[in-house]
Structure 1
Amino acid sequence: MARVFEALSAWQVMLAGLLFFGGIYLVFGAATWLLTRHVLPALGIGRPLDPRPLPAGQLRREFAQSGLSILLFGTGMIFPWGLLQLGWAHLDPDAGWRKILVEILVLVAWNDVHFWVNHRLLHAKPLRRFHLPHHRSVVTTSFSTYSFHPIEALMLGNVILLPMVLHDFSFWSLVSVPLFSLFFNCIGHANYDFFPNVSYAHWFAASRRHHLHHACYNGNYGFQFTFMDRLFGTRLKADAATSQLNAFRQSARHDGRT
């Protein structure tokens, strides 16, 4: 597969990228929506995190912004392909499953570091305006995952370029990055606590932590794990959004909506 990818033309690479990113966005997003809106509640597994309703037009806006991100991610496949064509990076076509597994684990950790750094930069004053479109989704959905300003999409979408020039990865290791990234992203934006009984610090509580990031705007800049937020002291407390959610519930009871 590595040799096939390298042999593609630039137009074929971009078309394949568009189909790949568009396909996984729709499949992962729809599956997460179905699970958290219908299947898991019916089974009594987990619970919603933020009870506030979605504003009118939010899903339409998320699809529009995500479509632009998919365009950038898909056509952006020309850059890793270009590194291979220039000889600045190489793929290992003979990697065994053990090497692929180790590479994926390294890329999972790198993805969290890369995300935290770029996410923290996007909350700094010079770049904040490029992150605000994503934060318009205060109550998130699985379709918020790619709902980015183009600048943010470019910053987050270059995650594999540096690793590629430092190491000869397997093609399958690199392909895993958008797959596990979108999987974790859907969990984080699902507005659903899949494991209510685990501690707030647990890996499985990522949706709780990212829900707080959107509810409070600052803090919890990490992706799936907590090591970067712990290291730099940016982790929010577990009850950071309690006051605003309680205020909504009281207002809802007063209006007779619950």
Structure 2
Amino acid sequence: MEYIVTSINGLLNFWVDTAWYIALAMSALVNLLVFFTAAYSVDKLSLWFSKELKSGAYIDTRPLKANQKQREMKYGAISCLIFAVGSLFTRELYSDLWPNTVFNFVWQVLVFSVYYETYSYFVHRLLHTKHFSKYHAVHHWSVRVTPWSAYSVHPVEATLIAISAPIFMAIFPLSLGVAFVLHIMGMVFTITLHSNYQFANGRFSGYMLYHQLHHSRGSVNFGFVNKYWDTLLKTKRCS
């Protein structure tokens, strides 16, 4: 465990100190690796649960559009490159490598989580307005979503995602390690959220159904993790 921690810290320090174009290449590689590995794994796991274990079920059973996954992979790869560019701003804005106390770690995670839920909700609402809906249409082209749909978004939308952390870091202190971990966890969560599969009854499967309803019905269920803003602003739908 100590070796893993030391290696991660070494890579983070190298990433901070190296030339920007090397840092960009490293970020692009990590984002692409996480996207393709997680999306492929969730996609195959859903199929395995469905065919072999007979456990759970696909939420939307309509057939996929022609070449849908290939299109989603293309836009997802472009989004990963944009995320890599956004990460260069975090190199300039981070407060320290890791929080110096457990309290600071918990505090940073909680504050950023509240911020991101608020940011993502209102940006999502913005993307459904007249002037921005043409960009968000790239994502909503996938009516029956797949794990590959998660980051199948227009470059404008990918940019809005990419700048979320730098905006926060320009106002509040956020450690580089915390930003990195939350970004990776956020990617995996978003990919799983778009699995269109209920692995079992429970809260997490409810998130998948909740977001699938957004793709099916449009202007409802804008929340990312928490349903607070949807409930408060009456955009929540459960069926």
TM over 0.5: yes
What residue number does 2:20 align with? 10
Match of 2:90 among 80, 88, 103: 80
2:171 counterpart of 1:166: yes
2:155 counterpart of 1:155: no
- Partners of 2:54 and 2:110 lie apart in 1 by 32
Alpha-carbon distance, 1:204 to partner: 4.7
Matches within 5 A, 1:86-101: 89-93=94-98, 95-101=100-106
- Partners of 1:220 and 1:226 lie apart in 2 by 8
What residue number does 1:230 align with? 231
Alpha-carbon distance, 1:64 to partner: 1.1
Structure 2 residues not aligned, in runs of 5+: 1-8
What residue number does 2:180 align with? 175
Matches within 5 A, 1:96-107: 96-107=101-112
Alpha-carbon distance, 1:195 to partner: 3.2
Alpha-carbon distance, 1:3 to partner: 4.0
Alpha-carbon distance, 1:180 to partner: 1.9
Contact 2:95 2:176 in 1 (8 A): no
- C-alpha change, 1:23 and 1:97, in structure 2 (3 Å) is farther
What residue number does 1:27 align with? 37
Matches within 5 A, 1:54-203: 54-81=64-91, 83-84=92-93, 89-93=94-98, 95-196=100-201, 198=202, 202=203
- Partners of 1:28 and 1:217 lie apart in 2 by 26
Matches within 5 A, 1:197-212: 198=202, 202=203, 204-212=205-213
Alpha-carbon distance, 1:21 to partner: 0.5
- Partners of 1:10 and 1:207 lie apart in 2 by 37
| Amino acid in structure 2 at the alignment position of 1:165 | A
Contact 1:14 1:78 in 2 (8 A): yes
- Partners of 2:51 and 2:176 lie apart in 1 by 38
Alpha-carbon distance, 1:166 to partner: 2.6
Q: Choose between structure 1 and 2: higher helix proportion.
A: 2
1:156-195 deviation line (CA, Å, top 9, x unaligned): 1211112212333222210122212112212221001133
| Amino acid in structure 1 at the alignment position of 2:64 | L
Contact 1:145 1:185 in 2 (8 A): yes
Contact 1:203 1:225 in 2 (8 A): no
- Partners of 2:227 and 2:44 lie apart in 1 by 27
SS in 1 for 2:164: coil
- Partners of 1:205 and 1:22 lie apart in 2 by 27
What residue number does 2:3 align with? none
- Partners of 1:128 and 1:102 lie apart in 2 by 35
2:59 counterpart of 1:49: yes
- Partners of 1:106 and 1:133 lie apart in 2 by 31
Alpha-carbon distance, 1:96 to partner: 3.4
SS in 2 for 1:145: helix
Contact 1:73 1:153 in 2 (8 A): yes
What residue number does 1:38 align with? 48
Runs of 4 or more above 4 Å deviation? none
What residue number does 2:5 align with? none
- Identity of paired residues, percent? 24
Give the TM-score, by structure 1 length: 0.82
1:235-254 deviation line (CA, Å, top 9, x unaligned): 12x22xxxxxxxxxxxxxxx
Count, aligned residues: 229
Structure 1 residues not aligned, in runs of 5+: 240-258
CA RMSD of aligned residues (A): 1.9
- Partners of 1:224 and 1:40 lie apart in 2 by 25
Structure label with greater radius of gyration? 1
Alpha-carbon distance, 1:71 to partner: 1.5
